[in-house]
């Protein structure tokens, strides 16, 4: 499994972009995890011929996680895409995406050149889509957010979207190969956001060595750089990726 970080920042991060990860599975399926405001521009900067997306996962309906979709669709249409694109998410995802597309580009939905297909997942259950197991659970966030465990038959990875981890999250990620977790602050400061400290605790309790920290508050990333570096160095297997960073495991 290969992860490419399109962006690693929070909603207003003008340097690191909105958090989004391109996953390539062992069978070559490509999954874009979240598509916020800045994501299409970054995505096509790194992948100018990036018409090979198979799925887009939407963790929740905050703008920095899904309002880049209309621009993504427009660019794919300009590239002449005809094969379907599947959007995977929680109940309501189809209505939200259709509304966003109509607001961004009125009438465009009626002439888009490729079918948009929607697959709805339910927290606590596993859906097999394209030969990949997608298992989700609720996190603790101000908007209903689903954490996602992907299993391609060889490797497993967990992507948090936003929010603090719950006991259900800990059970889900136990023994997986990699965790990519929202870590807004150094320690838990906000009721509906994770932190570097709690992400490390989650990975340790779940027995997961590889941990990637994303969605840091832009001021924390800048002002607490030395402390962050120290924390990351103390835990082998922990990384603070930047946009354009890729790992394979």
Catalytic residues: 64
223 to each of 8, 112, 226, 230, 239, how far by Cα in Å?
Answer: 17, 44, 8, 14, 18
Looking only at the bridges linking them, the beta strands covering 210-214 and 156-159 are: unpaired
Place of tokens 């997306």: 53
Q: To the nearest 10°, the Cα dihedral for 183, 242, 7, 152?
A: -80
Taking the CB of residue 201, how many other CB atoms lie within 10 A of it? 14
The three-point CA angle 136-139-142 to 5° equals 130
106 exposed, middle or buried (CB, 10 Å; 0-12, 13-18, 19+)?
A: exposed
Distance, in Å, from the CA atom of 125 to the CA atom of 136, rounded to the nearest integer, reads 6
DSSP 3-state helix, strand, coil percentages of the chain (rounded to 5)? 30, 30, 45
With a CB cutoff of 8 Å and minimum separation 6, the contacts of 117 are: 84, 85, 86, 87
Angle between helices 69-78 and 39-46 (to 10 degrees): 40
Looking only at the bridges linking them, the beta strands covering 210-214 and 178-182 are: parallel
């Amino acid at each position: 499994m290969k992860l490419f970080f399109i962006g690693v920042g929070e909603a207003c991060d003008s340097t690191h972009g909105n958090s989004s990860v391109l996953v390539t599975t062992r069978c070559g399926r490509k999954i874009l995890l979240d598509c916020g405001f800045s994501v299409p521009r970054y995505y096509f900067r790194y992948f100018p011929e990036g018409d090979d997306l198979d799925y887009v996962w939407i963790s929740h309906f905050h703008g920095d996680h899904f309002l880049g979709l209309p621009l993504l669709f427009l660019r794919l249409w300009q590239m002449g895409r005809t094969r379907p694109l599947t959007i995977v998410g929680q109940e309501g995802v189809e209505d939200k995406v259709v509304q966003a597309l109509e607001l961004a580009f009125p009438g465009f939905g009626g002439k888009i050149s490729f079918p948009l297909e929607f697959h709805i997942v339910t927290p606590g259950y596993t859906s097999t889509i394209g030969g990949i197991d997608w298992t989700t659970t609720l996190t603790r966030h101000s908007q209903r957010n689903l954490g996602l465990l992907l299993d391609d038959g060889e490797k497993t990875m967990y992507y948090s979207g936003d929010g603090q981890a719950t006991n259900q999250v800990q059970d889900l990620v136990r023994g997986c190969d990699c965790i990519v977790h929202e870590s807004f602050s150094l320690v838990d400061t906000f009721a509906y956001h994770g932190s570097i400290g709690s992400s490390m605790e989650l990975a340790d309790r779940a027995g997961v060595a590889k941990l990637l920290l994303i969605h840091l508050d832009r001021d924390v990333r800048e002002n607490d750089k030395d402390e962050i570096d120290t924390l990351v160095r103390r835990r082998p297997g922990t990384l603070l990726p930047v946009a354009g960073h890729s790992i394979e495991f």
